[in-house]
Homo-oligomer: A and B are copies of this chain.
């Protein structure tokens, strides 16, 4: 039987790894320039941290790690697997960031801009484009209550997408408070709002009639269907606070939230262009912890989003005891890698040295050292009967020149180079 990587998890061979690293380098450099600072958290967190109720459905997908030193009697007496596990693999980077901030806040600046990237793990059923280990790239601003957080994060996100070569992306924006105002004004009681949001979120899949039908099934009669229908078919511009407030319940609270939304949207639009931001009154985002602005990155080539995020002012308080305002966006790195048709240029002067049959390798080694020291990337290959196959492999691997390591050559200039391109 063939030996493979674990189900739903991937190996990366050199060319693909190089492409991924190049894309991540551009994202990383862009975020650093925008003032975000790299942090790292471990892959494993205590189960109490992972299962503190902030991971939504993803919590159920977490890989749990067995306690060490368990005896057969421990297995027999355990009521369920949670008693056998004390650690788990992180399923996102937001819960670990909140835990990190709670642990280290005393040594961090009062407004902390974090760049956090790395693999996360989810025990999903593997399918095309969905993996059990995948990379996320998150930026978050912690400690900034005002919309400057939204503006800086969205500017940096747009810049990162542009620099890696993504064209035509759109930010779909909304605010959880607007949704709350809308549902309240439409006569949907607080205890039914979470269920209504789940239905609203299905607009892309089931259409306007599908959403209305499901709402009628799920909700007690008497809610304002016309108000919901107006939202489902709205084309309200993202910079019209009055129209947004009128659409989303028309309350003073809706007016205040709409005004905030338009403030940051206008500032971002001023930098990246008006067309790149779209107000989507049905955008919900699944996680329960969002408290204000929410955003999703749409791309014409993808039915699913390239990433998203929002404001989660209550989450860090769950770990720290004191609430800390927070806004962040997560880029789905795997989807970026999938849609990018070109890669950031990786420039290495890659040259190969052929060892003549029967030659003393110490001369080859001296030449290799000389080439490495003068800035080349060097691969040593043995002379073969069929050099064509050797050359083809070199071309595949990005090498541009090859020379035989003859005894008479001691420098890059003295070697006779054959062009492979």
Give the interface of A toward B (CB within 8 A). 2-6, 9-14, 17-18, 20-21, 32-35, 37-46, 49, 63-66, 68, 70, 72, 75-76, 78-81, 84-85, 87, 89, 99-100, 102-104, 107-109, 111, 113, 119, 121, 123, 132-133, 146-148, 151-152, 155, 159, 266-267, 270-271, 319-320, 348, 355, 361-362, 364-366, 368-369, 372, 375-382, 393, 397
Contacts and interface: CB of A to CB of B under 8 A. Distances in A.
14 contacts: A3-B102, A5-B99, A13-B104, A17-B37, A17-B38, A33-B348, A33-B377, A42-B133, A65-B66, A66-B85, A68-B123, A72-B78, A81-B84, A109-B397
A18 B32 CA distance: 11
A228 B79 CA distance: 57
A38 B66 contact: no
Contacts of A84: 66, 75, 81, 84
Nearest to A389: B110
Contact of A121 (B43, B348, B377): B43
A70 B63 contact: no
A81 B103 contact: no
Nearest to A102: B3
A64 B63 contact: no
Given A99-B3, A271-B369, A12 B35 contact: no
Nearest to A50: B6
B361 A4 contact: no
What 6 A-B pairs are tightest by C-beta distance, nearest first?
A14-B37, A9-B42, A35-B379, A12-B40, A64-B66, A3-B102
A179 B417 CA distance: 44
Given A75-B75, A76-B76, 13 more contacts: A3-B102, A5-B42, A11-B39, A13-B107, A32-B377, A66-B81, A66-B85, A72-B78, A151-B361, A151-B365, A155-B365, A155-B369, A267-B362
A400 to B, nearest CB: 14
Given A3-B103, A378-B33, A382-B111, A39 B66 contact: no
Contacts of A111: 381-382
Contact of A366 (B5, B270, B362, B379): B270
Given A75-B75, A75-B78, A100 B39 contact: no
A45 B270 contact: no
Nearest to A48: B3
How many copies of the chain does the oligomer comprise? Answer: 2
Given A49-B3, A78-B75, A369-B271, A87 B63 contact: yes
Contacts of A63: 44, 65-66, 68, 87
Given A43-B43, A103-B3, A111-B381, A397 B66 contact: no
A309 to B, nearest CB: 18
Nearest to A114: B14
Contacts of A11: 39-42, 100, 103-104
Given A42-B10, A66-B84, A270-B366, A3 B378 contact: no
Contacts of A33: 348, 372, 375-378
Contacts of A17: 37-40
Nearest to A98: B3
A325 to B, nearest CB: 13
Nearest to A44: B6
Nearest to A40: B12
A244 to B, nearest CB: 19
A104 B148 CA distance: 48
A113 B379 contact: yes
| Most B CB within 10 A of own CB, among A18, A66, A68 | A66
